[in-house]
């Protein structure tokens, strides 16, 4: 072959560009991404896009129905709640609280979980199995239950419930990472990197981490949807975010008192939670198959 | 010809201790004594489970041995310890092509980065100096420069084999060890690879030790043949001597099996 002088390809797509091309080919994934992007934009720009202050009470307009009903008005798009607060603004701020805290929790849990898991996966013997079996025992308990127990000790509040959910999410990351690292360490490409003289840190960064993105994305999106559901559940049970703070689960819980009188106070935040979790799961699934397609055709 | 590598009393004991409900497995390799000369080609043959791959891994340092000394260019390594600094020198001088070249390539790292790793870890070259070197090595093993950006799944088996070869020789080792490098290739790619290795060997003057079940290739390219059985070297000698006057029972069996496959008539007659 060297005797030919061929023109070189001018453009080599980077790994992320390849992932994007594979991701784009699935319409459902794109739909999910648009929906999630919608939520993210609304959460980030909440102060600009929300028409009212979410905590502002207006005694003149109690329980106004949403704008599409005959007695509704366009001034309150999703109607108002029993204290006269605008439901649309509250839902926007609720998304901000729920989604934002979810992201924070997942990033923190991922950082801690992946580092512990990697250590456990690279170590051998007693130390590794102690980490493994202790955390496997924790994984048998549902995260929400652990979170409730921790909240019971620390006291209610959004920050406490965030700590609780983060702690409850960590074991899953540790378990997945440890299993993954252990399986990878036995493969031949690790052996050839070792023969190149790579130490453990270099092995992890240059050989294992590139292969781990798929697992991390899958686990990260699963954890994000669990986090969103758990934060709303704790808010709904009055253990998480407390009343003046707009949070989707807490809005839903407050709306429950007037559910017969004003069903939109329950239905709209409920639909929002549903769509939020759905879009996270769809995007996660699309990303997983895109990442898999990237390394195997 | 000068001695380039000397192996004295290389021993490995399978230390799988007796466990509950599990019979202890006993496998012992060696003691192995071996001298390798500059530019020499040595073939290791033998039945399965004779310890051939293990010997290759011990030589390259992938598995620490229990006893023994490997002397390379009058630089001694205790095969038992792989201390980091002596390991560094060893990775530089003895390189290996693993048995399954497709599994020995990281699936989510492009070829360029795979080839960059040995240079990055073992030399002081900057990134700007490494890239032309990698591209040169790619063309040397018969790939294109743009394979730098390719991933494992875009390459055929033969191309993956070439990448492993490039990875092994990029540090200009003194000794190259290959574990069944030709097993998975079709005859034409196989002869291309054999010729490529022979050419590179001539250019770079390295010794080449390979394990093979294909006695035709062994006879064609090896200067010396080592026959192994149950972790010991049972016979050793010049290729023609071994093929014409085999002495040990195992060698005779292997040679007879090989010769019964060769028919005298060729295509077209």
Residue in B98, B121, B146 closest to A198 by CB: B121
pLDDT of residue B251: 87
Does residue B267 register a pLDDT over 70? no
Residues of A within 8 A of B140 (CB-CB) are 2
pLDDT at residue A278, as a whole number: 95
Buried b (16+ CB within 10 A) or exposed e, A55-76: eeeeeeeeebbbeeeeebeeeb
All residues of chain B having their beta carbon less than 8 Å from the beta carbon of residue A295 are 107-108, 151-153
Q: What is the DSSP letter of A125?
A: S
pLDDT digits (tens, 9 = 90+) for A177-233: 988 998 888 888 888 888 777 788 888 888 888 888 888 988 999 999 999 999 999
Length of chain B: 269
Q: What is the pLDDT of residues B20-52, one digit of tens each?
A: 555 656 677 778 888 888 888 889 888 887 888
Judge whether residue B243 has pLDDT over 50: yes
Helix (H) or strand (E) holding A277: helix A264-295
Nearest chain A CA: its distance from B167 CA (Å): 9
CA separation, residue B230 to residues A223, B22, B49, B79 (Å): 52, 22, 7, 20
pLDDT of residue A260 exceeding 60 = yes
pLDDT of A38 above 90: yes
The pLDDT value given to residue B266: 55
Q: How far is CA B34 from CA A43, A84, B1, B89, B184, in A?
A: 71, 91, 15, 20, 28
Contact A38, A275 (CB under 8 A): no
Q: Which among A145, A198, A200 is positioned nearest to A167, based on CA atoms?
A: A145
CB-based contact, A125 to chain B, within 8 Å:
no
**Token pair belonging to B84:** 């980091």
Q: Is B16 on the interface with A (CB under 8 A)?
A: no
The two structure tokens encoding residue A220: 């990260």
- Taking the C-alpha atoms of residue A245 and residue A90, their distance in angstroms, rounded to an integer, is 9
Cα separation of A121 and A184, whole Å? 9
Q: Which of B108, B118, B151 sits opposite A196 (nearest CB)?
A: B118
Contacts of B154 in chain A (CB under 8 A): 297
Query: Two tokens at B223?
Result: 């200067």
Q: At residue B269, does pLDDT exceed 50?
A: no
DSSP state of B236: E
Please state, in angstroms and rounded to a whole number, the distance separating the CA atoms of residues A247 and A249: 6
Q: Least CB-CB distance to A198: which of B117, B142, B146? A: B117
| Gap between the Cα atoms of B200 and B136, Å rounded | 13
pLDDT tens digits, residue range B119-162? 888 878 888 888 888 888 888 888 888 888 888 888 888 888 88
Q: What is the pLDDT of residue A1?
A: 46
Report DSSP state, residue A239.
S
pLDDT 10s digits, A8-19: 667 777 777 888
Enumerate the residues of chain B whose CB falls inside 8 A of the CB of residue A210: 106, 108-109
Q: Which of B96, B55, B95 is nearest to B233 (CA)?
A: B55
């Amino acid at each position: 072959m060297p005797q030919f002088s061929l023109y070189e390809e001018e453009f080599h797509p980077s790994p992320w560009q390849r992932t994007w091309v594979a991701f784009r080919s699935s319409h459902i994934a794109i739909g999910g991404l648009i929906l999630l992007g919608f939520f993210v934009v609304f959460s980030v720009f909440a102060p600009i896009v929300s028409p009212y202050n979410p905590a502002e009470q207006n005694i003149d307009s109690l329980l106004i129905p949403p704008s599409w009903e005959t007695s509704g008005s366009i001034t309150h798009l999703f109607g108002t709640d029993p204290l006269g607060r605008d439901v649309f603004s509250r839902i926007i701020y609720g998304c901000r609280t729920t989604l934002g805290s979810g992201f924070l929790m997942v990033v923190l849990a991922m950082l801690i979980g992946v580092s512990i898991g990697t250590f456990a996966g690279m170590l051998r013997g007693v130390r590794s199995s102690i980490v493994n079996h202790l955390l496997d025992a924790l994984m048998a308990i549902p995260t929400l239950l652990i979170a409730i127990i921790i909240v019971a000790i620390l006291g209610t509040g959004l920050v406490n419930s965030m700590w609780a959910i983060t702690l409850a999410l960590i074991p899953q990351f540790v378990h997945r990472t440890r299993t993954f690292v252990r399986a990878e360490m036995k493969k031949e490409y690790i052996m050839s990197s070792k023969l190149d003289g790579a130490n453990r840190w270099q092995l992890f960064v240059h050989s294992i981490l590139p292969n781990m993105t798929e697992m991390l994305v899958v686990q990260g999106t699963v954890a994000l949807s669990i986090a969103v559901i758990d934060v709303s559940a704790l808010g709904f049970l009055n253990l998480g975010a407390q009343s003046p703070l707009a949070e989707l689960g807490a809005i839903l819980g407050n709306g429950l008192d007037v559910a017969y009188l004003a069903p939109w106070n329950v239905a709209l935040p409920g639909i929002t939670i549903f769509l939020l979790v759905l879009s996270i799961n769809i995007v996660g699934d699309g990303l997983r198959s895109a990442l898999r397609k990237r390394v195997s055709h | 010809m000068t001695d380039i590598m000397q192996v004295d009393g290389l021993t490995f004991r399978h230390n799988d201790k007796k466990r509950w409900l599990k019979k202890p497995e006993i496998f012992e390799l060696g003691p192995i004594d071996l001298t390798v000369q500059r530019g020499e080609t040595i073939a290791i043959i033998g039945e399965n489970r004779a310890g051939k791959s293990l010997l290759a891994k011990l030589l390259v340092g992938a598995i620490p041995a229990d006893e023994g000394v490997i002397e390379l260019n009058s630089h001694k390594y205790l095969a038992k310890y792989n201390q980091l600094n002596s390991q560094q020198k060893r990775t530089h001088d003895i390189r290996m092509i693993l048995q399954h070249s497709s599994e020995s390539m990281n699936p989510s790292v492009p070829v360029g980065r795979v080839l960059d790793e040995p240079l990055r870890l073992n030399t002081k070259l900057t990134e700007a100096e490494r890239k032309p070197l990698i591209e040169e090595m790619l063309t040397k093993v018969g790939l294109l420069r743009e394979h730098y950006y390719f991933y494992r799944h875009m390459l055929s088996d033969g191309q993956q084999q070439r990448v492993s070869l490039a990875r092994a020789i990029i540090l200009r080792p003194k000794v190259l060890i290959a574990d069944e490098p030709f097993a998975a290739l079709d005859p034409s790619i196989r002869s291309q690879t054999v010729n490529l290795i022979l050419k590179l060997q001539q250019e770079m003057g390295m010794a080449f030790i390979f394990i093979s079940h294909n006695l035709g290739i062994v006879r064609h390219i090896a200067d010396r043949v080592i026959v192994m059985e149950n972790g010991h070297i049972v016979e050793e000698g010049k290729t023609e001597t071994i093929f014409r006057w085999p002495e040990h029972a195992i060698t005779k069996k292997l040679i007879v099996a090989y010769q019964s496959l060769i028919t005298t008539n060729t295509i077209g007659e």
